[in-house]
Amino acid sequence: MLALTPVEAEALQLSLRVAFWSVAGSLPLAVLVALILARADFPGKSILDAAVHLPLVLPPVVIGYILLLLLGRHGPLGEMLENVFGIVVAFRWTGAAIAAAIMGFPLMVRAIRLSLEGIDQGLEAAAGTLGAGHGWVFLTVTLPLAVPGIITGVLLSFARSLGEFGATITFVSNIPGETQTLPLAIYSFTQVPGGDAQALRLSIISVLLAIAALAVSEIMTRRAHRRVKGHDIKH
């Protein structure tokens, strides 16, 4: 029942590639933004917080349309990327990765921020009194203690990227082999006679991938928590 046709396998492979690069590309920025929101106090912090969470409350189609206006071949950023670097993201799989990254970004930032806020800053202060600089304290104390939140954020964002539909189809369309991810392939199969079986197979695969991502997140988070507790006991 789950034997995939070449078109279905291509959609699955493309979805995994888009989800992977969306997470890999947004993770460093998510850690930075989460750190700023968790530790810094500055005018406009609430505005930054609201901007980060906008993709959660705006219709995905709106996000996709904004991306099309900005990163389309005739948009200000899209035209600059093409003229200066020869890079085109509109109607490409890279554009799908950008759309997925933006939609999953709030989930990643929130999970990492909560983890950072739960860290005992006395441990960081103790490391500072031993002569460690801020950067070294972050790399050796803060970041390892935030690993459970980072893992959770990464896998939630990955799962969200796998299910992204509205922003993707608006920004990069539904092109088989280029931008047709699992949700778009399911939609396409439901629009043609006799496509129900294919849509069902891909739906089952989507559910299994989501369950697997959540299960892996739970397992890795628990292991990371045990390591953090062991680290605290030793110190």
* 25: confidence class by pLDDT, cuts 50, 70, 90: very high
Supply the CATH number for residue 136's domain.
1.10.3720.10
The terminus-to-terminus CA distance of the chain in angstroms comes to 54
- The residue segments making up the domain with residue 143 are 6-234
Give the C-alpha distances (Å, rounded to integers) separating 216 from 9, 86, 89, 196, 212. Answer: 23, 38, 31, 30, 6
Question: Is residue 71 in a domain?
Answer: yes
**What local confidence, expressed as pLDDT, does residue 136 receive?**
81
Closest CA to 106 of 143, 146, 156, 151: 156
Q: pLDDT tens digits for 117-162?
A: 888 777 777 777 766 677 788 888 888 888 889 998 998 999 999 9
Question: Is residue 88 in a domain?
Answer: yes
Q: Which residue has the higher pLDDT, 219 or 34?
A: 34
Q: pLDDT tens digits for 29-42?
A: 999 999 999 988 88
The angle subtended at Cα 23 by Cα 19 and Cα 29, nearest 5°, is 155
Residue 35 falls in which region: left (phi positive, over 0), alpha (psi -120 to 50) or beta: alpha
Question: Is residue 67 in a domain?
Answer: yes
**What local confidence, expressed as pLDDT, does residue 228 receive?**
61
Q: pLDDT tens digits for 42-94?
A: 898 999 999 999 999 999 999 999 999 999 988 999 999 988 998 889 899 99
**What local confidence, expressed as pLDDT, does residue 66 receive?**
95
**What local confidence, expressed as pLDDT, does residue 229 receive?**
63
Q: pLDDT tens digits for 102-111?
A: 999 999 999 9
For residues 200-226, give the mean pLDDT. Answer: 84
Q: Is the pLDDT of residue 231 over 60?
A: no
Closest CA to 160 of 222, 218, 213, 201: 213
**What local confidence, expressed as pLDDT, does residue 27 receive?**
96
The angle subtended at Cα 15 by Cα 185 and Cα 90, nearest 5°, is 85
**What local confidence, expressed as pLDDT, does residue 140 receive?**
82
**What local confidence, expressed as pLDDT, does residue 175 receive?**
92
**What local confidence, expressed as pLDDT, does residue 2 receive?**
61
The answer to which of 16-30, 173-187, 204-218 has the lowest mean pLDDT is: 204-218
Question: Is residue 155 in a domain?
Answer: yes
Overall domain count for the chain = 1
Question: Is residue 1 in a domain?
Answer: no
**What local confidence, expressed as pLDDT, does residue 232 receive?**
53
